[in-house]
Amino acid sequence: MQDYPQYSTKQKWLHWSSAVITIIISMIMFVKIQAAFILGGMSHVFLLHKSFGVVIFMLTVWQIVVVIQDKVPDVLANQAKLQRALSKSVQGMLYILLIILPLSGYLMSGHSLNVFGIISIPAIDMPNEFYSFFHALHKSCSYLLVLLLIMHIAGALYHYFCCKDKVLQSML
């Protein structure tokens, strides 16, 4: 039995599912030319990217609901006020970005959103300036997401290797 606070199984599942899918989405776009060759065209690359974006959106909404209902364990020491503030800020921004990115991706395209070829969400008709705005928002938020993910991972590794506390283990 662990002698440290643990996230619930549901919270761990949501966290790691979101992490894996976010990495898949990012890698698909990072190697989109090669992926297009493997998947049979750029349309398939974007189909996967957008479909997984919908999954991330739904997982993030679910994650927020679970955090509100179940709360999160108190894994940081009370005297670590700066670490606590930084941790909560990064986690909050990650949630916000994982909501904004799928929405801005949907709104920037001007086309209906085909989710894994199963359902289609109709496009929203907007002036061209809005499409450009959402495209810029999507692009800048994706860079910010990468930065915050690096900070999140670095923080977990810092706690494991330097502080030698159980912060990382609480999510494993």
User: pLDDT band at 58, cuts 50/70/90?
Assistant: very high
pLDDT of residue 79: 67
Residue 138: give the domain boundaries: 9-171
Number of domains in the chain: 1
User: pLDDT band at 38, cuts 50/70/90?
Assistant: very high
Domain of 57, CATH number, reads 1.20.950
* Locus of tokens 């921004």: 93
Residue 138 lies in a domain: yes
Full-model pTM: 0.91
Q: How many residues does the structure list for the chain?
A: 172
How much is the mean pLDDT over the chain?
92
Number of neighbours of residue 35 by Cβ within 10 angstroms: 19
pLDDT of residue 2: 60
pLDDT of residue 75: 79
Residue 65 lies in a domain: yes
How far is residue 68's CA from residue 63's CA, in Å, rounded to a whole number?
9
